Amino acid sequence: MSQDDIFQKPLTQVVDFVFNKAVVDVFPDMIRRSVPGYDNIISMLGVFASQYASEKSRIYDLGCSLGAATLACHQQIPERHIKYYCIDNSQAMLDQCENNLKKHMPEASKTFVCDDVRNIEIENASMVILNFTLQFITPSDRLALIKKIHNGLQPNGCLVIAEKTLFKDTNTQNHMTEWHHQFKRANAYTELEISQKRAAIENVMIPDTTETHLSRLKKAGFQHPLQWFQCLNFSAFIAEKV
């Protein structure tokens, strides 16, 4: 696994963050050094799959990156006949995802689609995953996407969302931001790397509050959405379709 050094050197101009080949090459290192609790979130996706994934249904990984979420699900239910759909709008990311999953789950049914997740039709789904994806979608489009997912889920199917989250209280938000930066420092990121990454991503990643997530899930038709994880300013939610 290559070490993330994308923002190590001073940049004359910090451009908006994109999931290109350079990011793909260091992504496993980048996300684990940047997102507290990431491995716990991934492993819990497998736990949820063991409960919700039904025979001959589909699992959609929307914004699949390198396929960690899909693999975690399959490892818990290898005997079930599931069709996995891995969607990402980065061709570089999707190519590496396909390589990874063909190696680690060769017998499973897998479909790889390079497209915007808003364009994907959800059908016969027992589980849909939005793992740090919704925050990169235009805020005004988010409710429509969640409604589409709800409509495409089987009864008793689930949607799992993980996101960076905001806090209404300014003091809380400031503490969470500083602790997150300290988490990055503890993982050997420099002040330059932290500041340049923040500048690159602030215009393309727009997080919501926990309250906004839960309210939107209810508006989309999910009756009892739950927050099941929080570590600093990173949260995860699960919503069942009744």
38 is in an annotated binding site: yes
Cβ atoms 85, 73 nearer than 8 A: no
What H or E segment, with its residue span, contains residue 239? strand 234-240
**Total H helices, total E strands in the chain:** 8, 8
Contacts of 84 (CB under 8 A, 6+ apart): 58, 59, 61, 70, 73, 74, 101, 108, 109, 110, 111
Q: Of the candidates 37, 93, 40, 33, which has an alpha carbon nearest to the alpha carbon of residue 62?
A: 93
Distance CA 166, CA 62 (A): 22
Whether 127 contacts 157, CB under 8 Å: yes
d(CA 38, CA 174): 21
Residue 88 annotated as part of some ligand binding site: yes
Bridge partners, residue 110, by sequence: 84
Query: Is position 33 annotated in a ligand binding site?
Result: no
Is 117 marked within a binding site?
Answer: yes
Is-contact 204 19, C-beta < 8 A? Answer: no
Q: Is 198 annotated as a binding residue?
A: yes
Residue 65 annotated as binding site: yes
> CA-to-CA distance for 155 and 168, rounded, in angstroms?
34
Helix axes 68-76, 38-52, angle to 10 degrees: 40
Looking at residue 180, its amino acid is H
Binding-site residues, please? 38, 63-65, 88-89, 116-117, 131, 198
Binding-site residues for S-adenosyl-L-methionine, please? 38, 63-65, 88-89, 116-117, 131, 198
